[in-house]
Amino acid sequence: MTTSQEELLPATRRALLHRIAVAQAEGRAPSLVAAVVRGGRTVWYGARTSVDGHGPDENVQYRIGSITKTFTAVLVLRLRDEGLLDLGDPLEKHLPGTGAGEATIADLLAHTGGLAAESPGPWWERTPGSLRPELADVLGEQPLLHPVGRRFHYSNPGYTVLGALVEKLRGAPWEEVLRREVLEPLGLDGTSAQPRAPHAGGWAVHPWADVLLPEPSENLGRMAPAGQLWSTTADLARFAVFLAQGDERVLSAETVREMRIPAAPVEAADVADGTSYGLGLQIQHRNGRLLIGHSGSLPGFLANLTIGIDEDVTSVVLANCTSGPLLSTVGADLVRIVAEAEPRIPEPWRPLTEVDAGVLELVGPWYWGTYAFALRLTSDGSVALEPLSGSGRRSRFRANGDGTWTGIEGYYAGELLRAVRRSDGTVSHLDLESFVFTRQPYDEDAPVPGGVDPDGWRGIG
């Protein structure tokens, strides 16, 4: 991926630099680096440091903590796409004897498996992985704290288990599988399980004094799939492009879209701050903007990857301090700055090259009872059913090739839409999983459930 600093306006570049400068100064970070990606290219890079003359560039490694989980999720979904497992499979089917076997693969990916947040024993992020050589050491005697599938409870051990699953089905260490199946195909040469020069050192900043303490850098061992990786802004920018668009060498565009569909129950606290979780990706709604990605932290390091899908703007922010700048806020702000200052220019409208006359016959207004909807044929060949007023239920449907369509989003996701024709070939109504849509409200010529009063519509009197 090439870097082009010239593609953003000077005022936008200054606003981005100002935002990370404030974050580094107020957050008291020894260093902070950031990048912005638009249109599949890095269009801005910035860095702030407390050491004159030693500003890190886009190729300096920082530890990225839980962004590692997204890489592990990619490996699991590759196994699914190859038919080696199903997301609905209980863990016990593939990795017996863990004590958490009733949790499904999807549960573990979405943090709904009921597992504890942390591993038992000493603080695993600051102690060597050799203290936890087996899965039993990571999970403890009672791995499940909550009923499986009932609530979102972020779990580091859950991703350790997923890493062990990858090792079991691939017959190779997690780190080796990751390098072979993700890092090398995507050209992520600056990402590794162990730090490589040049890399930043991790620091703790005293909460009440401007002094530093070096943090230990431990090999997490079994916990590696939950937070081991080191990476650079350049590599994470490339990884973000993959998460937005897919890459057939790793995962298809359809599968990466699946990763960002909410998969975990939303609790009251999550509703308040607009967050949810997909399959290895965090999902946020901020000021009407959909953001996906992941944050990460380990002693000495903070990391954030934020992708504005609709705006086609991504931010990467890394810092080498245990606490301080709120990188999730910084990342969202970098996306907002670019999206608001330089809104995405839409692709030119183009008409369809061909159209099925039978589909064209169906477009226009339809009524579900007295609710007015419109069926539209879109440029990609799908159809959209949308309310003519209010928020209502709206969905897009993909063609199945047999005159029916399947919902791909919204209330009707997975539901079947079909046109029902009379014996003479004319359209009677649309059937959407028992809902009858008619050309007129309660059309007496259509089989409206419950029938239509023979006296028709009337006034009061």
Q: What is the pLDDT of residues 165-197, one digit of tens each?
A: 999 999 999 999 999 999 999 999 999 999 999
| CA gap 40, 389 in Å, rounded | 36
- pLDDT for 268 equals 66
- State the pLDDT at residue 390: 76
State the average pLDDT over residues 215-242: 97
With a pLDDT cut of 70, the percent of the chain lying above it is 97
Query: Which residue would you say has higher pLDDT here, 422 or 379?
Result: 422
pLDDT at 271: 62
Domain borders along the chain are: 5-341, 357-437
Tens digits of residue pLDDT in 278-313: 999 999 988 889 999 999 999 999 999 999 999 999
pLDDT at 291: 96
Residue 460's pLDDT is 87
pLDDT(87) > 90: yes
Confidence label for 44 from pLDDT (cuts 50, 70 and 90) = very high
Taking the C-alpha atoms of residue 419 and residue 141, their distance in angstroms, rounded to an integer, is: 56
Q: Is residue 413 within 8 Å of residue 424, measured between CB atoms?
A: no
Taking alpha carbons only, the member of 385, 369, 360 closest to residue 437 is: 369
Q: Which CATH number fits domain 5-341: 3.40.710.10, 3.90.1150.10, 3.30.565.10, 3.40.50.300?
A: 3.40.710.10
Asked if residue 48 has pLDDT above 80, the reply is yes
Based on its alpha-carbon atoms, the radius of gyration of the chain, rounded to whole angstroms, reads 26
Mean pLDDT value of segment 384-410? 90
Q: Per-residue confidence at 353, pLDDT binned at 50, 70, 90?
A: confident
| pLDDT value for 350 | 85
Which residue's structure tokens are 């990391």? 303
At residue 224, the 3 state secondary structure works out as helix
Higher-scoring residue by pLDDT: 344, 268: 344
Tokens of 201: 């050192």
β-bridge partners, 376: 384
CB proximity list for 236: less than 8 A, separation 6 or greater:
35, 64, 67, 305, 316, 318
Residue 137 has φ and ψ, to the nearest 5°, of: -70, -30
